[in-house]
Amino acid sequence: MKEKNIMQNMLLEKARLFEQDAEQQISASDRPCFHLSSRVGWMNDPNGFSFFNGQFHLFYQYHPYSNAWGPMHWGHAVTADLLRWDYLPAALAPETAADNRGCFSGSAITVENADGTAAHLLMYTGLVQAGADGAAQTLLQQQCLALGDGLNYRQLEANPVLTQADLPEGYSPLDFRDPKLFRTANGSYYAVIVGRKPDGLGSILLFESADAKAWSFHSVLAENAGQLGKMWECPDLLQMAGNAALLFSVQDNLATDQHTHSGDCTMYYLGKFDEATGDFAPESLH
């Protein structure tokens, strides 16, 4: 077991050493004044924006070795005022059997350790190669967890915690990603995750857990009937004053009126979410 842990830490340590050295070549004047840029290399989707141990944490999709897209890591930065950011070492590298083709988008929340202390829990999509058909590789998407103290994170040995076996019948594991975690008033946990239906269109799935570690499918929150593009991505569920907003990014949308955009865009349903039952009742689309 010790040898396995050492091997799993090698890619992360390599990334941390590289970014520490490479950032010396970037002057402060080369960076944006207010907007967070990657410590080095490539960045895209912001992930895991959360407040933990007195600081705001923001992770991001990250390829430290190039300014082009590559095997996804998680970069990491913190701030006290949302204006001035401090870089922390890379949080995740694609180095386990559950994520060796990339640590993709996800979210973060605070949970309790067994001793009652606070821990930072990351839930992210891990990619693995399932096989190859000629030059085309088949990459499966599955959900993984990492637990940390705000600086160092450990991918759980139980990963992946959600796989193709947990999807509704006919759903594709090739488009099963972008988990957004949240805790309910009674202390249980939900995660909204996008999935691809048998007809190739996107939907938003709800998964549940009593302890944020063992997960199971609960229900379909919303699904594309063909009127809102094709695949959906990056869901979120926000609740305020008895109302709920279910956000998602739409791919390949064809606008039919002045209320939507053609191409890729973000939309949301306003409605009601019942935490006790996990049911979402949409009332309007924006």
* Domain residue spans of the chain: 1-116+152-157, 162-286
The pLDDT of residue 4 is above 50: no
Check residue 258 and give its pLDDT. 61
Check residue 264 and give its pLDDT. 82
Check residue 1 and give its pLDDT. 36
The pLDDT of residue 259 is above 80: no
Burial of residue 120, with CB atoms counted within 10 A of its CB: 0-12 exposed, 13-18 middle, 19 or more buried: buried
Percent of the chain with pLDDT over 90: 84
Total number of residues shown for the chain: 286
Q: What is the pLDDT of residues 168-190, one digit of tens each?
A: 999 999 999 999 999 999 999 99
Residue type for position 266 = T
Tell me the average pLDDT across 252-261.
70
In the sheet that 73-79 helps form, which strands lie side by side, from edge to edge?
42-52, 55-63, 73-79, 85-92
Q: What is the pLDDT of residues 200-235, one digit of tens each?
A: 999 999 999 999 999 999 999 999 998 898 999 999
Residue 133 bears catalytic tag: no
Longest dimension (CA), the chain: 59
- What residue has token string 């009742």? 281
Check residue 136 and give its pLDDT. 58
Please give the mean pLDDT across all residues of the chain: 93
In the sheet that 189-196 helps form, which strands lie side by side, from edge to edge?
172-183, 189-196, 202-209, 216-223
Q: What is the pLDDT of residues 71-106, one digit of tens each?
A: 999 999 999 999 999 999 999 999 999 999 999 999
Tell me the average pLDDT across 280-286.
94
- What residue has token string 């570690």? 213
The pLDDT of residue 162 is above 50: yes
The pLDDT of residue 5 is above 60: no
| CATH class in words for 162-286 | mainly beta
Sequence-distant (6+) residues with CB within 8 A of 31 are 37
The CA-atom distances, in angstroms, between 283 and each of 61, 247, 250, 264 are 33, 13, 19, 23
Name the band, by pLDDT with cuts 50, 70 and 90, for residue 24.
very high
Check residue 281 and give its pLDDT. 96
Sequence-distant (6+) residues with CB within 8 A of 159 are 96, 98, 99, 126, 144, 145
Q: What is the pLDDT of residues 34-66, one digit of tens each?
A: 899 999 999 999 999 999 999 999 999 999 999
pTM, entire model: 0.93
Among candidate residues 30, 45, 149, 236, the one labeled active-site is 45
